[in-house]
Amino acid sequence: MDGLHNWTLAAPEIFLAAAAMILLMIGVYRGERGADLVSSLCVASLGIAIFLVLRLEHGTAYHELFLVDAFTKMMKVLSLLAAGIAIVMSRSYFVLVGVWRFEFPVLVLLATLGMLVMISANDLMTLYLGLEMQSLALYVTAAFQRDSERSTEAGLKYFVLSSVASGMLLYGASLVYGFAGTTSFPGLARGFLAGDVATGAIIGLVFVLAGLVFKISAVPFHMWTPDVYEGAPTPVTALFSVAPKIAAMSLIVSVVMGPFRPLLAQWQQILVAVAVLSTIWGAIAALRQENIKRLMAYSSIANMGYVVLGLAAGTEEGVRSVVIYMIIYLAMNVGTFAVILSMRRKGVMVERISDLSGLAQRQPMMALALLLFMFSMAGIPPLAGFFAKLNVFLAAINAGLYVAATIAVLASVVGAYYYVRIVKVMYFDDPAEAFDRPVERDMAVVMLATALFVFPVFPVFQAPFMNGAQAAAKTFFSGR
């Protein structure tokens, strides 16, 4: 009976792994022509996986290596959604540059499998394996456009720097294991609660956090982000900016709120520093960017800063604000990238901010969608982004992090400048040469759905999202 229990709890992961292998075989036998089929089947598999996740019971499996609760289920659904949308958005780009191959959706599927394992990690070993599974697939997708020098460079840079981060994480994990004597999250929590905290374990925690913070590209481990975002194929950038962030963020949440919760005083300082630095640097460095993909890189750095600030509060309210922020961030980012992916002239992708000038006169609906995303990211009420930031700041202030919250608010004001600048370019500058029309149907659907979510769906119907996030946050505070 116990054995069967294991299989049912990991059903989405097992399904995704099997689906990835079967789709790989289909792709191999159908050759290049199979790419469209494999891609739609991948999206379908992700959909089925969402369904399987929603039906999961709560509990631990595989001798406490693997955990399913309301929080992990929520985060898994978000990552699956982000990965599915990324695959849908990738087709037209790769067809355009001539590398539309069936391996891409399969690799995204495998990366998503890694994310699910990460999110469900209940042991340092599961954590590491999930992280590596996800990263390894993502390195390859970054270099997927292998005849492009920039894509290869992005892949290599991401690989080398990310390996260093993985090394730090492993070193930290080994220190934690050495001093605490176990790698299991519940075991660590019990040990630390008993007041048996060695300095070595705290140093280990710092290294583990450094490795994880790298994955969400928060300052001071953000160096790779602009280059990788700019160099990687745009759909891959769209994927990078959402799905892995959700998975890594949820991992940070479950690590600090789970095994290391008794060490709140220690990790709170780290997270506050990371949050403050990220928000400041994300806002200031983005001011002079001309390339919209680089701009989005700095924007994601700043956004991660706000999320980390919410987590640094260390309260139930804080975790709830993290979950809500990730939901809204998913919608805003995916929508913006749908617009970026539609920026092409005569079949060539363009990615400079000045290319957007006068968009309002050429394509008013697309301009309106981007306006909603930009205002939302800037945090202007009544758009969804405002509520995301509001929750984070409230959580931080209620936890007594006044200085950090003030600095973050000020940074968000600075950051609003570059978001609003894009709106200004679109609405008040002389029109540039028109983009290709019509916009791809997939992109239009994604844009429309996310824009509707940002406004008016989220601001008007907040209750279900709030309740979901509340239920997710509660898992850490009510004994699982």
Q: Are 313 and 401 in contact (CB under 8 A)?
A: yes
| Nearest residue (CB) to other proteins, 133 versus 322 | 133
Minimum distance from residue 61 beta carbon to other proteins (Å): 8
Minimum distance from residue 242 beta carbon to other proteins (Å): 20
Q: How many CB atoms lie within 10 A of CB 147?
A: 9
Residue 132 binds other proteins, judged by CB under 8 A: yes
Tell me the number of residues near other proteins by CB under 8 A.
32
Binding track over 42-61 against other proteins, x by CB under 8 A: -------------------x
Environment class of 190 (CB within 10 Å of its CB; exposed 0-12, middle 13-18, buried 19+): middle
Sign of the Cα torsion 463, 78, 43, 224 reads positive
The residue from 26, 48, 136, 445 that contacts other proteins (CB under 8 A) is 136
Subset of 65-104 contacting other proteins (CB under 8 A):
65-66, 101, 103
Three-state DSSP state, 195: coil
Minimum distance from residue 228 beta carbon to other proteins (Å): 16
Q: What is the DSSP string of 240-300?
A: HTTHHHHHHHHHHHHHHHTTTGGGHHHHHHHHHHHHHHHHHHHHHHGGG--BHHHHHHHHH
Residue whose pair of structure tokens reads 């001309």 in the numeric block: 290
CA distance 104 to 146: 12
Minimum distance from residue 212 beta carbon to other proteins (Å): 18
Q: Are 98 and 349 in contact (CB under 8 A)?
A: no
Minimum distance from residue 21 beta carbon to other proteins (Å): 8
The residue from 11, 17, 202, 457 that contacts other proteins (CB under 8 A) is 17
The residue from 53, 81, 133, 248 that contacts other proteins (CB under 8 A) is 133
CA distance 416 to 375: 8
| Nearest residue (CB) to other proteins, 2 versus 430 | 2
Minimum distance from residue 238 beta carbon to other proteins (Å): 19
Minimum distance from residue 46 beta carbon to other proteins (Å): 17
- Tokens for 184, please give them: 């299991």
Residue 248 binds other proteins, judged by CB under 8 A: no
Minimum distance from residue 206 beta carbon to other proteins (Å): 21
Subset of 143-202 contacting other proteins (CB under 8 A):
143-144, 146, 155
| Nearest residue (CB) to other proteins, 16 versus 319 | 16
The alpha carbons of the chain give a radius of gyration, in whole angstroms, of: 21
Q: Are 404 and 396 in contact (CB under 8 A)?
A: yes
| Nearest residue (CB) to other proteins, 141 versus 299 | 141
| Nearest residue (CB) to other proteins, 179 versus 427 | 179
The residue from 55, 58, 63, 345 that contacts other proteins (CB under 8 A) is 63
CA distance 45 to 27: 15
CA angle at 427 for the pair 422 and 430, rounded to the nearest 5°: 100
N- to C-terminal Cα separation, the chain: 21
Find how far residue 397's CA is from the centre of its chain.
Answer: 25
Kindly indicate which of the ranges 48-56, 129-137, 208-216, 410-418 contains the residues binding other proteins, using the contact rule CB under 8 A. Answer: 129-137
Minimum distance from residue 110 beta carbon to other proteins (Å): 5
CA distance 282 to 446: 26
Residue 253 binds other proteins, judged by CB under 8 A: no
Subset of 434-453 contacting other proteins (CB under 8 A):
none
Residue whose pair of structure tokens reads 């116990």 in the numeric block: 2
Query: Hey, which residues does 68 pair with through a beta bridge?
Result: 59
- Tokens for 120, please give them: 């469900």
Q: Which residues of this protein are in contact with other proteins, per CB under 8 A? A: 6, 10, 17, 21, 24, 61-63, 65-66, 101, 103, 106-107, 110, 113-114, 117, 125-126, 129-130, 132-133, 136-137, 139-140, 143-144, 146, 155
